Amino acid sequence: MKAIVVGRGESRPRVIEKSRPEPGADEALVRTLRVGIDGTDHEVLSGNHGGFPEGTDHQVLGHEAVGVVEDPNGTDLATGDVVVPTVRRPPADGSNRYFDAGEPDMAPDGMYRERGIAGAHGFMAEYFTSPAEFLVPVPREFASHAFLVEPISNSEKAFELAYGSRSTFEWTPESAMVLGNGPLGLLTLAMLDERFDRTYCLGRRDRPDRTIDIIERLGATYVDSRETPVPAVADTHEPVDFVYEATGHAKHAFECVDALAPNGVAALLGIPEDWTFDVDGGRLHREFVLENKALVGSVNSSVPHFEAAKESLAAFPDWFLDELVTGVYSPDEVDAAFETGDDVIKTVVEFDSP
């Protein structure tokens, strides 16, 4: 079968022929429909994030997938079920309490592998196998866009943590800001649209721009960070109750404290490189305390977040999904699929038509 991989020492994806995997006990065989591409894939390519499966000279890419059960292999799934795989798997030395609790997203480093990212092959191949417990069935009518369930699930988890941190008092948030107008930022903005009266999305693009059009069509306000940096948002617009950081820009993790309204919370999802800079730590610390603010870091997601993500995906308007997905490519068009640029939002590799 065809698989899209990166080889050791390489930084470009390529197609190889690989033998179709055989499902083990409790595993189903899945025929891949579509696999989305995101920033993490590019980080895997650049060698900045994750690591190769042990004993291999290549890694199959891809962690945002949707497929069809080809062989249930004795699991509770049925042939033809449309499924979305979760990303984390137990480490080579076996399961642990995080997986036993159904919360692999909370497992610390060393206690998980991530398919397509760290220590395990991804889903960018004509077939993949997975334990049935890590395959989330989705309605057949979502087959085209269900590769978005994984990125959406990451935001569901971040929302859960953020709301949890505000659960001990009467929190009545009205405004939210997404930092970043990449695909995860836009997906999250569409999710927040239903929860908040007023939403903002921060980017650094000139008009005309496809992402700004989407932001505004969603009813949100575009904030150009070159004109209105994060700390100025409170004065220029309003202090916001919730900030969702999806830029990976380390200063945003600190600047967002200034953007928050009292009792507000910021969820951080970006994964920056080391970067040392000045902060007015005294003022940030003081504001944090006197205004009961909170910061939550969030990574990955588990089955309940995938379930929630199905609901969010179902609520998106068709135009939004049409605008978001800017390219559908065959495996042989892998170079085009991984191209980036201002006109590219979300691309997907299609192994079989949904």
Q: In angstroms, what is the minimal distance from the CB of 43 to a copy of itself?
A: 12
Q: In angstroms, what is the minimal distance from the CB of 100 to a copy of itself?
A: 10
Pull the structure tokens for residue 81. 């079920």
Residue 165 touching a copy of itself (CB under 8 A): yes
What are the CA-CA distances from residue 193 to residues 65, 146, 161, 220, 314 (Å)? 25, 20, 19, 8, 14
Residue 105 touching a copy of itself (CB under 8 A): yes
What are the CA-CA distances from residue 227 to residues 215, 258, 329, 350 (Å)? 17, 16, 36, 39
Which residue among 22, 206, 285, 330 contacts a copy of itself (CB under 8 A)? 285
Residue 270 touching a copy of itself (CB under 8 A): yes
Residue that has been written with the tokens 């970006």 in this structure: 270
Query: 119: helix, coil or strand?
Result: strand
Q: In the 8-state DSSP scheme, what is residue 304?
A: H
Which residue among 54, 109, 227, 318 contacts a copy of itself (CB under 8 A)? 109
Residue 293 touching a copy of itself (CB under 8 A): yes
Long-range contacts of 271-277 (CB under 8 A, 24+ apart): 271/43, 271/49, 271/299, 272/248, 273/48, 275/250, 277/250, 277/251
Residues forming a β-bridge with 135: 85
Residue 297 touching a copy of itself (CB under 8 A): yes
Which residue among 17, 19, 168, 227 contacts a copy of itself (CB under 8 A)? 168
Residue 263 touching a copy of itself (CB under 8 A): yes
Query: How many of the chain's residues bind a copy of itself (CB under 8 A)?
Result: 55
Q: In angstroms, what is the minimal distance from the CB of 206 to a copy of itself?
A: 27
Q: In angstroms, what is the minimal distance from the CB of 339 to a copy of itself?
A: 27
Residues near a copy of itself (CB under 8 A): 101, 103, 105-106, 108-109, 160-161, 163-170, 250-251, 253-254, 261-263, 268-299
